[in-house]
Structure 1
Amino acid sequence: MARVAKKRKQAKRPAKAKATAAVSPVVTKAEKAVESTTKSLDAQMDRVAKARERAQKTGTAAAKKALTNANAKAKDLRAKAAAAKVELAKAKAMDSVRQAEEAAKAKISEMADKLSDKAEKDLAAAVKAFESRWRKTRAKADAKKVKTAEKKAQAKVKAAAKKAATKAKALEKKAAAKAKAEAKKAAKKSAKKKAGRPKKSAAKKAATKKTPGRPKKSARRGRPPKAAKTKATAKKTMARRGRPPKKK
């Protein structure tokens, strides 16, 4: 009785992975390998089915040998397809790790950018606060320095004024001494000139003596002097003063 060849159910092809924004080339290569081995296996299974049908109809040794060879080749293709699927699973696992790593890096980068922006804002605020404090402190210190400089300048001005006054006084004193010395010198010179003049003649002296002078003024003008009181008058005056003597 001839055996009816059972139709082998074709293995379902694995659905293609959805294209992502960044597909790993390793995954793409593994997917292509799985697809290729699956196609080859499907074609070989069709050949096995045909060889089995021929062997069942004819029953010849050649047909049986062809069936055996077809089954052996199908077995090899199944092993290759299984290995390709394992490689695809590995590639996908590694790719998931890569994607997770990239996602983590992107998240960290985003966080770093946010922190950097926040740091810039915080730094600007801190710099502003520091600048305000620094300006106040510096203004206070500068005011103190200016005050000290003003005091020093005033002290220098006072010292210079005192020095100038002393110098002016010394110059005045020197000028006065010089003027006095010059006056004294001029007086001596004048005296020498007078001493060097010729004496007057005897005739001139005699004429000078003969010239009548002004009449002498009276010794005293006004009322004449009172006569001196006598001793008797003085005694009488003394007797009149005071209380009268008591009678005995």
Structure 2
Amino acid sequence: MATAKKKAATKRTAATAKKAPAKRKPAVKKATRKAAAKKPAAKKAVPKTAASPAVVKAQEAVAKFKSAVESEKKALAAARKKVEAARKKASKNATAANKRAVKAASAASAKSAEKIKALRARVSTARDRANDLAESAKVKANRLAAKEKVAAHKVELSIKTELDHAKAMARHAQKWVKTRTTADKKRLLALEKKLARQLQGAERKAVAKARAVERKVETRARAAAKKLEARTKKAMGKKPAAKPKPKAKTKPKAKTKAKAKTKAKAKPKAKKTIAARKK
């Protein structure tokens, strides 16, 4: 009975709480929006020249080698973890199978490390090739731009000459044309020389970069060859076999000596017969 009374009292208090009017929240003043500041007009981006397919291909190769290096790094980390686990197992229980597992895991980690080194070398060579191709593409683009500039300037000069010729046709026709053409030729030659100097400077820079890359590649190749020689010597663990000594020359047989003597004797006889015939 007591519990029933308590429940009824709780229900009444809940009902009265529901009927009581909720307190009103104080009105919040709406903040006046500030006028949006005018953004400066974005400058039009200068259209970049499309990269040549060879450059794009070289860049893709670099990215491919980089991704291969990253995946190989993950494989190396997993192999090293396996080596550690195998070593722990072998230290606890030094059975033949555990020792073999340690050797196999260490060999796999060493193999992946060598693969990473090879991939890094390929990445560097591919990057150098991409840079060379980009430089050559820049030089070609500069040449084409120079030719176009000369052609456009030539057209402008020809239009101007025609207009000026029409104005001054009444006074001096032929003489004026000759002087104008010589002046235009001088201007064109000066412009061509200026652009040729610029192109020569760009070509020299490209050649110097290419030579530096070649030297770098040569030094890497030599270092790699030396490393390979050292590894092969360590793997063999033996000295190279001595060269066989040359055989002693055999003495000529007695028959050859006898033949030589008979020939020597026959020569003076022949000389005597020739002298008798002359007499």
- Structure 1 length normalisation: TM-score? 0.42
- Which of 1 and 2 has greater Rg? 1
- Structure 2 length normalisation: TM-score? 0.38
